[in-house]
Amino acid sequence: MKKTLFLLFILIFPFFVKADQKEKVNIYFFYGRECPHCHEGLTFFDSIEEEYGKYYNLNIYEVWYDAKNESLMKKIARFKKENKSLAVPYIIIGETSLEGYEEKDNEIILKTIEKEYAKDTRIDILEQVKKSENQKAIFFLLTIIGSVVIIIFISKKNKFQKGK
């Protein structure tokens, strides 16, 4: 009996602990390898990690030498309707995005992290982009299936009419 209760406790306890913890804010940081402003921005994130690291996950993508990462950055920018020049670093925190980095952005970044972490429901841009792409793929697939069904229906109708 004690073993059963112990096993139940071990299996259920993690759910109670997790329920009290808030998920971290996902920050997306797109940068160029030789970009000095990008490195300044990364240095800033390093400097706040001890105090603010419990509030966010920093997802870093190099875009000058990685076409896949560059494509992801462009998809996100299009999704956010930010089809500008796309300067790096391109930093996305929730609904807020910053192009380029200067020391004056530090306060904006900190306040945005705090604001996003305090929200009960957050927007994760990468999840939204993936969901949007999936919806487009499903729509495209359904369009093709619908077209095939219509073509089959019309051809069977024509065969039926010729057979009369």
pLDDT digits (tens, 9 = 90+) for 63-110: 999 999 999 999 999 898 886 678 999 999 998 999 999 999 999 999
CB 66, CB 58: distance < 8 Å: no
State the CB neighbour count (10 A cutoff) for residue 109: 21
Q: With respect to CATH, is domain 22-123 assigned 3.40.30.10?
A: yes
56-62 and 25-31 beta bridge pairing: parallel
Name the β-bridge partners of 149: none
In 23-144, beta strands by DSSP E:
25-31, 56-62, 90-93, 96-99
Q: Is 11 a residue whose pLDDT tops 80?
A: no
Q: Which of 49-58, 126-135, 144-153 has the highest mean pLDDT?
A: 49-58
As to burial, measured by CB atoms within 10 angstroms (0-12 exposed, 13-18 middle, 19+ buried), residue 120 is: exposed
pLDDT one-digit tens code per residue, 131-145: 766 555 565 556 677
Please state, in angstroms and as integers, the Cα–Cα distance from residue 20 to each residue in 4, 16, 54, 92, following that order. 25, 7, 14, 26
- What distance lies between CA 117 and its chain's CA centroid? 16
CA-based max dimension of the chain: 82
CB 101, CB 43: distance < 8 Å: no
